[in-house]
């Protein structure tokens, strides 16, 4: 009899705290399962914008390489025609990687590509992407002359010159906001500057200085840079593209 009374009392007391607990669990389940469209709509664009917007004054190496890859896709998709000659591409890649070991940023992953174009030109973007025209290969009389131009472009990457130019242009044109610059606009701006706009005289001297050190450390004759520039200045044809986008050659 005593045992039965104890069992009944225990069951009653247990129900007293069991029911509130069940109520709390049900309420939490309803809150978690109920959609909150207003909050989702408010936060989603902010999160996406955080991914797309860049602070050009503080771009990490990873972001720089990502921008370079995006620029490369745009360049290869229509801006230029890349050469499919495996022998030429391999030759350029070998020289480029030899130079990289002695550059200012040897740990950066570099990509060297050949543009199928007879104009005498070369350019670099971000994150280790360097482009050389077939016309440049045809004009250089020896490997040291050709390597000097590649070392010059690697020097631009070492000095982050395009990134600096992008930042200046974005601020001057009003593209940059307090939050930064939209990634897609940054890519388009970088491609335009790399292909069509000359660097400043200061950047060119800096790229020459860096390139000359890289060239000599890699075992090439420093005279290769001088002789190639002299060759272009003496050219009787129209001004080579390399000179038009690289001021202060004389």
Which region among 40-49, 104-113, 183-192, 218-227 has the lowest average model confidence (pLDDT)?
A: 40-49
pLDDT tens-digit map of 92-113: 999 999 999 999 999 999 999 9
pLDDT tens-digit map of 235-244: 655 555 665 5
Which phi and psi angles does 110 have, rounded to 5°? -95, 145
Query: 249 CB contacts (<8 Å, ≥6 apart)?
Result: 229, 232, 233, 243
Domain ranges of the chain: 58-240
pLDDT at 199 over 90: no
Tell me the pTM. 0.75
pLDDT tens-digit map of 12-31: 444 455 454 455 544 445 44
* Confidence label for 185 from pLDDT (cuts 50, 70 and 90): confident
Rg over alpha carbons for the chain, rounded to the nearest Å, is 30
Return the higher-pLDDT residue of 176 and 225. Answer: 225
* Confidence label for 57 from pLDDT (cuts 50, 70 and 90): confident
Percent of the chain having pLDDT more than 90?
52
What's the confidence (pLDDT) of residue 58? 82
pLDDT at 43 over 80: no
| Secondary structure, 3-state, the chain | CHHHHHHHHHHHHHHHHHHHHHHHHHHHHHHHHCCCHHHHHHHHHHHHHHHHEECHHHCCHHHHHHHHHHHHHHHHHHHCCECCCHHHHHHHHHHHHHHHCCCCCCCCCCEEEEECCCCCCEEECCCCEEEEEHHHHHHCCCHHHHHHHHHHHHHHHHHCHHHHHHHHHHHHHCCCCCCCEEHHHHHHHHHHHHHHCCCCHHHHHHHHHHHHHHHHHCCCCCHHHHHHHHHHHCCCCCCCHHHHCCCCCC
């Amino acid at each position: 009899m005593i045992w039965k009374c104890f069992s009944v009392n225990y069951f009653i007391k247990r129900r007293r705290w069991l029911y509130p607990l069940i109520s709390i669990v049900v309420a939490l389940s309803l809150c978690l399962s109920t959609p909150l469209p207003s909050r989702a709509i408010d936060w989603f664009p902010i999160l996406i914008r955080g991914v797309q917007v860049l602070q050009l004054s503080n771009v990490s190496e990873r972001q720089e390489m990502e921008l370079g890859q995006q620029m490369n896709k745009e360049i290869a998709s229509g801006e230029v025609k890349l050469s499919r000659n495996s022998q030429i591409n391999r030759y350029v890649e070998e020289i480029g990687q030899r130079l990289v070991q002695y550059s200012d940023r040897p740990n950066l992953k570099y990509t060297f590509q050949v543009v199928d174009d007879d104009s005498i030109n070369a350019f670099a973007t971000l994150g280790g992407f360097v482009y050389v025209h077939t016309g440049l290969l045809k004009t250089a009389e020896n490997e040291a002359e050709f390597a000097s131009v590649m070392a010059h472009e690697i020097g631009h990457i070492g000095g982050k010159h395009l990134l600096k130019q992008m930042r200046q242009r974005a601020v001057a044109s009003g593209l940059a906001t307090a939050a930064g610059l939209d990634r897609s606009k940054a890519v388009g701006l970088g491609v335009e500057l790399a292909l069509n706009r000359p660097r400043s005289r200061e950047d060119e001297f800096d790229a020459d200085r860096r390139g000359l050190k890289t060239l000599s450390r890699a075992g090439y004759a420093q005279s290769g840079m001088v002789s190639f520039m002299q060759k272009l200045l003496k050219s009787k044809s129209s001004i080579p593209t390399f000179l038009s986008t690289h001021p202060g050659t004389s």
